[in-house]
Amino acid sequence: MKPAPFIRHVPSTIAEAVAMLAEVAPQDGRILAGGQSLVPIMAFRLAKPAHLVDINEIAGLEKVTCDGRTLFIRACARHAAFHRPVVDNPLGALLATVAKHIAHYPIRLRGTFCGSLAHADPASEWCLVAATLDATIMAKSIRGERLIAANEFFAGIMSTALREDELLVETRLPLLARDARFGFNEFSRRAGDFAMSAALVVYRLHDGKITEARVGVGGAEANPRRLAEAEAVLEGQTPAAPLFRAAAEAAAAAIDPLEDHQIDAEYRRDLVRAVVRRALESSVRVTHPC
């Protein structure tokens, strides 16, 4: 369980990093950020990149900043950076809630938010956040930079719209409305395991009715995404147990479930039904100070 030989490059600026990436990408060169997914895959020799461009030494890349409307998460911001709210906004509380479900503490100290997006594991909590909140992803290469909408970024299991010479330098999340409510729920066999299904819901209440409903589901399909069918059920309705059941039912019906030796389609739908309903229920129960 030792990786195949590779050369590690250590740029000190983003410009250097993308220049190196452009050079080594054709020889299966990859970016190394936290390494919590890539390194085990290399140890199993499921990936044998000849070059790694290690971005951990680039100054300022671990930052999370906010301009009052948008949260900017730079490429090396670790999962643990979100353990406490990073911003005085419901988004800060949402990210803190979700962060605690990511793997185990040591992994959260090293793994990165942007790395999770680039890796695009179907069960990734951050991918679910990005999809549900319509994140914008900034990709940079020697050819320039471009912004990619989350719903165009994920392109299948562990596959994204990033080109081989592009570095995901930043993820942008819009701040939530001050009165936004959210709920998160995930199911895994053991504490810290990959989610077998996860749901994130966000909405506002206007005169007691749900507006701007977002229902995202992860771990159930090739990529996490918002489920318009479930959102439609909620829109304009008063939060209540039967409504949540109906929305969960709509979500379970809407998905195209991933199947593997552990989980058949019916069980995946069972889990989606449960996690969506529970996420909605927790959105009512919990009030987040911010």
Partner 1 sequence: MTAYTKGSGATWVGRSIRRLEDPALVTGRGRFTGDLAAAHWVRFVRSPVASGRIGSIKAPPGAWIVTAGDLAGVKPIRPMLHKFAYRPVAQPILAEGVVRFVGEPLAAVIAASREEAEDVADQVIADISATAAVIDCRAALETTAPPIHAQAPGNVVVEGIVKTPGFDDAWNGAYQVVALETRSRRQNATPLEPRAGHAAFDATTGRVTLTCATQMPHLTRTAIADILGMPENQLRVIAPDVGGGFGQKMSLAPEYVLLVWLARRHKSSFAWTEDRRENLIAAFHARDQYISLQGAFDAHAKIIALKADIVTNVGAYSCYPTTCGVEPLMAMAELPGPYDVRHYECRARGVLTNTCTMAPYRGVSRPVITFALERLMDKAAKRFDLDPVEIRRRNLIDAFPYRTATGLEYDQASYRQTLEMAATLVDLPAFRARQKQARAQNRHLGVGFAAFCERTGYGSPAFAARGMDITPGWETAVVSVDPSGFVEARVGTSPHGQGLRTTLAQIIADEIGVSPDKVSIVHGDTDRAPYGWGTFASRSLVIGGGATLAAARKVRAKLVRIASHMLEAAPEDILLGDGEARVAGTDRSLPIAVLAREAYTQTHRFKGEIDPGLAEQGTYDPPGTFSNACHAAVVEVDIETGRVKLERFIVAEDAGRLINPMIADGQVHGGVAQGIGNALFEEIVYDETGNILTSTLADYLPPTAREIPPIELQHLETASPNSLTQAKGLGEGGAIGAPAAVINALNDALAPFGVEINEMPATPQRIRALLRNAGVPS
CB of 85 to partner 1, least distance (A): 25
Q: Which residues contact 173 (CB under 8 A, 6 or more apart)?
A: 70, 71, 73, 91, 129, 130, 133, 135
Contact 77, 112 (CB under 8 A): yes
CB of 188 to partner 1, least distance (A): 9
> CA 266 to CA 156: how far, in whole Å?
21
DSSP 78-110: BGGGGSS-SSSSHHHHHHHHHHTTSS-HHHHHH
Q: Does 264 bind partner 1 (CB under 8 A)?
A: yes
Q: Does 285 bind partner 1 (CB under 8 A)?
A: no
Contact 210, 235 (CB under 8 A): yes
CB of 23 to partner 1, least distance (A): 24
> CA 151 to CA 142: how far, in whole Å?
24
Residues binding partner 1: number (CB under 8 A): 26
Contacting residue, 8, 59, 68, 189, with partner 1 by CB under 8 A: 189
Q: Does 163 bind partner 1 (CB under 8 A)?
A: no
| 43 versus 228: smaller Cβ distance to partner 1 | 43
Question: Strand pairing partners for 216?
Answer: 200, 226
Question: Strand pairing partners for 72?
Answer: 65, 172
Contact 50, 41 (CB under 8 A): no
Unique residue bearing structure tokens 């996690």:
275
Q: Does 271 bind partner 1 (CB under 8 A)?
A: yes
**263: its two tokens:** 């989980």
Contacting residue, 207, 208, 262, 289, with partner 1 by CB under 8 A: 262
- Chain positions 44 to 73 lying near partner 1, rule: CB under 8 A, are 44-45
Contacting residue, 193, 212, 229, 235, with partner 1 by CB under 8 A: 193
| 124 versus 136: smaller Cβ distance to partner 1 | 124
| 161 versus 243: smaller Cβ distance to partner 1 | 243
Q: Does 259 bind partner 1 (CB under 8 A)?
A: no
Q: Does 261 bind partner 1 (CB under 8 A)?
A: yes
Residues of this chain that interact with partner 1 (CB under 8 A) are 1-5, 44-45, 187, 189-194, 252, 261-264, 266-267, 269-271, 273-274
